[in-house]
Structure 1
Amino acid sequence: MVVLAAVGALLIVAWQIWVVPINHPVYGLFNMNIDTRVYRGGAIAVWDGHPLYNLPVYKVWQFTYTPFAAIILVPLAWMPEHTAQFVWNIGNVMCLLALVGVSLRSLRFRIDGRFIAFTVLFAITVIGLEPVHTTFWNGQINLVLALMVIGDQMRRSERLRGIGIGLAAGIKLTPIFFTAYLIITKQWRAAVTAVTVFIGTILIGLFVLRTEAWNFWTTTLTETGRIGPLDHPANQSLNGFFARLVPMGLGHTPSWLWIPTGLVVGLLGLWAAFAAHKAGQELLALTITGMTSCAVSPFSWGHHWVWVVPLLLIAVTYCVERTDRRRPLTWLWWAAPVAVIGLTFTWWHRVVTVTPSGHERLRFTFGVFRFIRAPEGPEWELPFRLIGSGAYILLLLLVIAVTLWVCDGWRAIRFNANSTPSTPVTEVQ
């Protein structure tokens, strides 16, 4: 595994040098930081007592997170802009390393030199995946939230489980979906803790920001247009997928279409997560739950799907353990990590746009969903438009199907299988 991670890391380093230059003034890995600037703008608004939601907090961008998130981001207001960006980037690097390390530990790998080497090399490798790359590029908070959730569920003390999920939901609402997972897996104490902590974050926001917090929970919360146009190619939720494909939508999806579909996908995702939990695959269960939460959310940017990090780790680990040179068919399992990489890689391509003054401008975009062509394009492009438009939804459905097959979803429902089998501690190969 270490050798495999080393090869992947070398390829991504080469990719970042010659294809997506890390030092590019605009598209370099750490050079955009637009979301960090918005976070800092929201923090300054709180610190200075200015409106948080009625006006843009940084140029034309509005603050879209909870009042509690704005409160805990206040330290960014005390730093110069470049210092805040530097601190945030370092924090994201540390969170990525911690996320890989915690995920490895959950797979029962022993901490040693190879463990550390693999963690670093694998972290470099997954920078080539669009959700991770864009999280760094935008200075996003997704890696922090994923680490909070996985770290919370992997802690040894059951008494404290649920705190991380509650805090993550208090910052960015999507993680509240994990309480459904806690309920179906009968982790009652953790579910109550998560909901209690989440309510606590709401009360803190109301106590500190009062009117701003009240307006957020009663009005601003439902204004998804503040985040971006629903039919944006990077909105990789079901809602965004249908908004791009349904002509009658005119930029939005009829509720009668996406809500029932979201309910079905949500239930399928929870079923697969339940099956993985009963099979003792807790990391897989959490990963599926995280991906499902992105799919059923009204708006999920591509960088919200950082759950592909533990997903790829699980896929690679499974392939290494199951591949047998004497059984050629076992090599087919490697189609799983190939699919994860293929659908989420930072595919880099150029787009020419025309400015209002009539001048052509060369822009660079990344992500398979950026390959979407206009509806009037040739018919042979239709399959590629469909895949690009719903690449991450497709990945989730594939993961659900494979999980229900491998973990025997029907058996998980019919029988109370042991959810914590004794898996021996192993070494990273």
Structure 2
Amino acid sequence: MESPTDMSFPHVLVTSCRELLTLAPRVPFGHERSREPRRPGRVALVGGLLLALSLGLWVLWTHLGRRDMWHMLDLSVYHDAAHAFRDGDAIYTENYGKWNDNKLPFIYPPLSGLLFYILLPLGFAGLKWFMAIVNLLSLFAVVWSAWGMLGYRRGLGRFGVSATTFAVVLWLEPVEWTLVWGQINLLLLALIVLDLGLPDSRRYKGIGVGIAAGLKLTPAIFIVYLLITRRFRAAAVAGGAFLGTILVGLAAAPTASVYYWSHLASISGKVNDKLSVGTLNNQSVQGMFTRMLGDGGAASALWFLLCLLVGALGLVAAARASLRGHELVGVVITGGLSLIVSPISWSHHWVWVVPAFVLLAHTALTRARPLWWWLTGTFFVFFAAWPMRLNVYGDWDGSRTLQPWGLIWLAPRDEGRERHWTPIEFVLGNGYLFAGIALTLILVWRILRDRTPLPTLAEPVAEPSTPDPDPDPDPVSSGSVRH
């Protein structure tokens, strides 16, 4: 007979899996609490001023260093490849753009090619402005929706909190390099977070996840997330939207689409021909093991085993957090898993630090303990983009221009230098990955060790009509959740 006080990890894990299969009703997330900061008008004014100041500084830096801050190399690859979108399979067999006197492959699904094909009339100069504006709007949309998941109702207060957060997260290194490269990471992040931030009653919930997966395959993990959190209609909508993107690609460019889906593995592998998976920029598990062991079966086997372990634990914890009403926690865990388990997660893919920062800042605000402010500040310092002049050895080089480098770039990189790291350089050079795994495991532990049972079918959880005077603590800061 099981002991009700058994807190061993295997017992907690088994109990958590059992709870996920009981078809218990979901606890509504966020919207029932109606949080709002004190003096919302003043918060909105201060937040608006900080947003304008931060954005103005970014525009100034980008203008002064436009050769390095406005080249948008990856966007040039998308733009050039779009010209070949209707020309058979050329979009996937040729290389485009210009990087260190080389060209790069286009490896995204056909829907992405169609998107940039439609935008060709803008020209490359117009496309730069368009992508910069879309990314900045996407960044604000992400922080707005993340605070909404935490229960902040629409209004001046939420605008002020979101604007203040925008002013801060604009200077995170993954955000900065997404803007510099002209990447679509923030657009994908916004599609996912805005979609999952909708009430579960919305019939079209899941469309954003499906479209994001159609633009780049890694967001498909959120279809699994919707399934294990028993939002079957949203999962079906997401799957249908993803299938729709495939059909749209087939209709618009049948030859290119057939080639892409039949040569998916080889197309993805083309990146390694131009830039080694083991380079510092790849902050994934496979990147770490490749830096340690080189390309080969050992690195792939270790990658598979570690991803299987972390992925399984992470998804169980994400589902349990979501079922308990902590949707942002579940979303952050799942987003982190998409980076950890993916074969390639360049540093600019780590824009998932934006909702993670919102979660930490919320915990610091609600817990009002110095420890959480220190953790939030440390998180920002580590992931921030610092204006530095660095060479490939991670040393200050006065002949270089100021660029938004993160602290991980203080380790030597490229041309196999990662194989000769010192222990300190190894920790620093894998910093994003280690920080992501640490945050994921902390959340997993706090969620799975909570023995409060999920509500049962006989005890449905109704959404209260009045604000909860004592809202549930988030599992990031408490191992016990009350319902």
Q: 2:154 aligns with which of 92, 111, 135?
A: 111
SS at match of 1:58: strand
1:123 is aligned to 166
Bigger Rg, which one: 2
1:338 is aligned to 377
* Alignment: residue pair count: 406
**CA apart distance, 1:16:** 5.4
Q: 1:194 aligns with which of 229, 238, 250?
A: 238
Q: Is the 8 A contact 1:53 1:220 kept in 2?
A: no
**CA apart distance, 1:238:** 0.7
1:182 is aligned to 226
**CA apart distance, 1:187:** 1.4
**In 2 relative to 1, CA 62–115 (structure 1 residues): closer, same or farther, beyond 3 Å?**
same
**In 2 relative to 1, CA 335–394 (structure 1 residues): closer, same or farther, beyond 3 Å?**
farther
1:264 is aligned to 309
Question: What's the CA shift string for 1:274-305, capped at 9, x where partnerless?
Answer: 23213311012111101111110111111111
Q: 2:440 aligns with which of 388, 400, 407?
A: 400
2:90 is aligned to 51
Which whole-Å CA distance do the structure 1 matches of 2:399 and 2:250 have between them? 45
2:66 matched to 1:25? yes
Which whole-Å CA distance do the structure 2 matches of 1:128 and 1:103 have between them? 18
2:430 is aligned to 390
**In 2 relative to 1, CA 11–316 (structure 1 residues): closer, same or farther, beyond 3 Å?**
farther
**In 2 relative to 1, CA 210–13 (structure 1 residues): closer, same or farther, beyond 3 Å?**
closer
2:477 is aligned to none
Question: What's the CA shift string for 1:162-214, capped at 9, x where partnerless?
Answer: 21111110110000011221122111122222222212222222232222212
Q: Is the 8 A contact 1:33 1:139 kept in 2?
A: yes
2:252 matched to 1:211? no
Which whole-Å CA distance do the structure 1 matches of 2:289 and 2:48 have between them? 39
Unaligned runs of 5+ in 1: 324-329, 355-359
**In 2 relative to 1, CA 320–42 (structure 1 residues): closer, same or farther, beyond 3 Å?**
same
**In 2 relative to 1, CA 208–242 (structure 1 residues): closer, same or farther, beyond 3 Å?**
same
TM-score normalised per structure 1: 0.84
SS at match of 1:262: helix
Q: 2:217 aligns with which of 158, 173, 182?
A: 173
1:255 is aligned to 300
Q: 1:75 aligns with which of 102, 111, 118?
A: 118
Which whole-Å CA distance do the structure 1 matches of 2:341 and 2:446 have between them? 24
Q: 2:202 aligns with which of 158, 178, 188?
A: 158
**CA apart distance, 1:398:** 2.4
Q: Is the 8 A contact 1:89 1:136 kept in 2?
A: yes
Which whole-Å CA distance do the structure 2 matches of 1:222 and 1:398 have between them? 32
Which whole-Å CA distance do the structure 1 matches of 2:244 and 2:186 have between them? 23
**In 2 relative to 1, CA 198–409 (structure 1 residues): closer, same or farther, beyond 3 Å?**
farther
2:18 is aligned to none
Which whole-Å CA distance do the structure 2 matches of 1:143 and 1:301 have between them? 14
Which whole-Å CA distance do the structure 2 matches of 1:251 and 1:50 have between them? 30
Which whole-Å CA distance do the structure 1 matches of 2:434 and 2:248 have between them? 39
Q: Greater CA deviation, 312-321 or 201-210?
A: 201-210
2:348 matched to 1:303? yes
Q: Greater CA deviation, 114-123 or 263-272?
A: 114-123
Which whole-Å CA distance do the structure 1 matches of 2:379 and 2:277 have between them? 24
SS at match of 2:389: strand
Aligned AA (1:234): N
Which whole-Å CA distance do the structure 2 matches of 1:392 and 1:155 have between them? 29
Q: Is the 8 A contact 2:387 2:404 kept in 1?
A: yes
SS at match of 2:105: coil
Which whole-Å CA distance do the structure 2 matches of 1:421 and 1:187 have between them? 18
2:179 matched to 1:140? no
2:361 matched to 1:313? no
Q: Is the 8 A contact 1:316 1:337 kept in 2?
A: yes
**CA apart distance, 1:340:** 2.1
**In 2 relative to 1, CA 210–424 (structure 1 residues): closer, same or farther, beyond 3 Å?**
same
Listed as ranges, the matches of 1:79-94 within 5 Å are 79-94=122-137
**CA apart distance, 1:61:** 2.1
Q: 1:62 aligns with which of 93, 96, 105?
A: 105
SS at match of 1:236: coil
CA RMSD of superposed structures (Å): 3.2
SS at match of 2:390: strand
Which whole-Å CA distance do the structure 1 matches of 2:165 and 2:154 have between them? 15
**In 2 relative to 1, CA 236–104 (structure 1 residues): closer, same or farther, beyond 3 Å?**
same
Which whole-Å CA distance do the structure 1 matches of 2:268 and 2:113 have between them? 18
Greater RCO, 1 or 2 (C-alpha within 8 Å, sep 6+): 2
Q: Is the 8 A contact 1:166 1:197 kept in 2?
A: yes
**In 2 relative to 1, CA 415–104 (structure 1 residues): closer, same or farther, beyond 3 Å?**
closer
Identity of aligned residues (%): 29
